Every structure is written in C-alpha cells, then in structure tokens.
C-alpha cells in the first residue's frame, strides 16, 4: 500500500451528495453549496480534513445532531469531497446588487480555479464568462441559486460584471 491514497471519484461524488442532503437540509445550509460559506453561519470549509470534520461534529453545537446520522464511510466521503473542493482556488462572488460594488480578488495562474456565484437578489443573473473561457459562454444564476465555473487561469486581469456589481480577477 502506498503512503498516500487519493480519493476516488466515487467517494468524492458520494461525499458531494451527502453534503447536499444530510439531515434534509445538508451541510450546504450552513456552509454554502460549494463549501464556500455563502454568508452562512458555518463559513468556508473547503480543504477541511476528516479530523476537522470529526472535531466539529463533536464540538460544534449546531452540527452535533448530524453526528448520529453519518456513518464512518459517510464522513470519509465528506472529507474527500471537502479536500477535492480545496484543490481549487476559490473566486467567491456573492451578488447582492450593490450599486457600484466592485470586488477584487487575486489568484495564481496555472492552478485550477472555481468561480462560485451566489445570487442574493430576485432577478436572474446572466454573466458573460467569455473573458475567462475565451469563448462565448453565459452563466445563468437564478434568484437565490448558486452556480459554478471551473477554469485554468492565465496571467492577466479579468473583469466580470452583472447589473450594479463587477468582480475583478487579478491572475498573478
Ligand atoms: C446548522 C449549521 C451547520 C450545519 C448543517 C453544518 N455545519 Fe459545519 N459548522 C457550523 C459552524 C457554526 C461551524 C463553526 C464555524 C466557525 O467556528 O467559524 C462549523 C464548522 C465546521 C467545520 C470545521 C471548520 C474548521 O475551521 O475547522 C467543518 C469541517 C464542518 N463544519 C463541516 C461540515 C459538514 C461536512 C457538514 C455536513 C455533514 C456540516 N459542517 C454541517 C455549522 C454547521
């Protein structure tokens, strides 16, 4: 056996499904659909380990209830999913329709990245992703929905905008 075992796709996708459904509301209720936080009480847990999870299931008042319904295998799968999310650089855009809102983020080139957009308004968002993808691509995010887009960034400054807000992504 090798010293390091890599999470299988099955384990990651089983973890993702538990992350969205456990207890009826899922981990997503407090940690966001992609573990990014999304302004919820639990915050960002991308890249968290099995030990982090076990510790919080025992000590975090709001998570204790879930401890009983998760098998050891469920916890391993959840940890694999959180670690998988942690392999992406996160560009987190929580859209609240703030006038003149400009968000700036800095990431490294050549590393897998994930844009996560949470639409906290009542109008659907249509975001032109061509600056990131190099081809015509629109991301639709319905009211109170979260959507994502993965890409491998190259050096440069990229701006995405919708309505009253813009996000400037500085790739170093
Ligand atoms: C009812 C809300 C709630 C739910 C549901 C919930 N959590 Fe949490 N979680 C929290 C809070 C609150 C914290 C503590 C955050 C802090 O201290 O900043 C936390 C902490 C954590 C941590 C520790 C983060 C760290 O910094 O080490 C992990 C890992 C975690 N949660 C994973 C999960 C997973 C996986 C699930 C689903 C099985 C889940 N949580 C469900 C509220 C929740």
In order, the DSSP letters of 73-91 are: HHHHHHHHHHHHHHTSEEE
Task: Read off the pTM.
Answer: 0.93
| Tokens (6 digits) for 25 | 């509301």
| Tokens (6 digits) for 83 | 């670690």
- The residue contributing the CA closest to ligand 1 atom 24 is 45
The alpha carbon of 5 and the centre of ligand 1 are apart by a number of angstroms equal to 25
Ligand 1 pocket member 74 (CB < 6 A): no
Nearest to 119 by CA among 94, 102, 85: 94
Cα radius of gyration (the chain): 17
- The structural domains of the chain, with segments of one domain joined by +, span 9-86, 89-171
pLDDT in tens, 1-47: 444 456 899 999 999 999 999 999 999 999 999 999 998 889 999 99
Q: What's the average model confidence in pLDDT over 69-74?
A: 96
Q: Can you identify the CATH homologous superfamily of domain 9-86?
A: Cytochrome c-like domain (1.10.760.10)
Residue 101 in contact with residue 166, Cβ under 8 Å?
A: yes
- The residue contributing the CA closest to ligand 1 atom 12 is 42
| Tokens (6 digits) for 121 | 């308004």
Ligand 1 pocket member 40 (CB < 6 A): no
Nearest ligand 1 atom, CA 19: 37
Question: For position 5, what pLDDT does the model report?
Answer: 57
pLDDT of residue 118 exceeding 50, the answer is yes
Question: For position 6, what pLDDT does the model report?
Answer: 67
Average pLDDT for the chain: 94
Nearest ligand 1 atom, CA 49: 29
pLDDT of residue 102 exceeding 60, the answer is yes
Q: Do domains 9-86 and 89-171 have the same CATH topology?
A: no
Ligand 1 pocket member 27 (CB < 6 A): yes
pLDDT in tens, 155-169: 999 999 999 999 999
CATH 1.25.40.10 describes domain 89-171: no
3-state helix, strand, coil in the chain (%, to 5): 35, 30, 40
């Amino acid at each position: 056996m090798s010293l390091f075992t890599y999470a299988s796709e099955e384990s990651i996708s089983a973890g993702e499904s538990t992350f969205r459904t456990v207890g009826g509301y899922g981990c997503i209720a407090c940690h966001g659909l992609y573990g990014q936080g999304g302004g919820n009480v639990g915050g960002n847990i991308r890249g968290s380990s099995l030990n982090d999870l076990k510790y919080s299931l025992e000590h975090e008042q709001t998570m204790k209830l879930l401890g009983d319904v998760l098998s050891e295998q469920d916890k391993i799968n959840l940890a694999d999913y959180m670690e998988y999310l942690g392999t992406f650089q996160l560009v987190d855009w929580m859209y609240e329709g703030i006038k003149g809102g400009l968000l700036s983020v800095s990431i490294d080139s050549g590393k897998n990245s994930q844009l996560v957009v949470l639409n906290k308004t009542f109008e659907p968002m249509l975001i032109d992703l061509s600056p990131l993808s190099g081809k015509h691509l629109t991301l639709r995010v319905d009211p109170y929905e979260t959507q994502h887009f993965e890409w491998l960034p190259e050096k440069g400054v990229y701006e995405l905008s919708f309505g009253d807000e813009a996000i400037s992504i500085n790739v170093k």
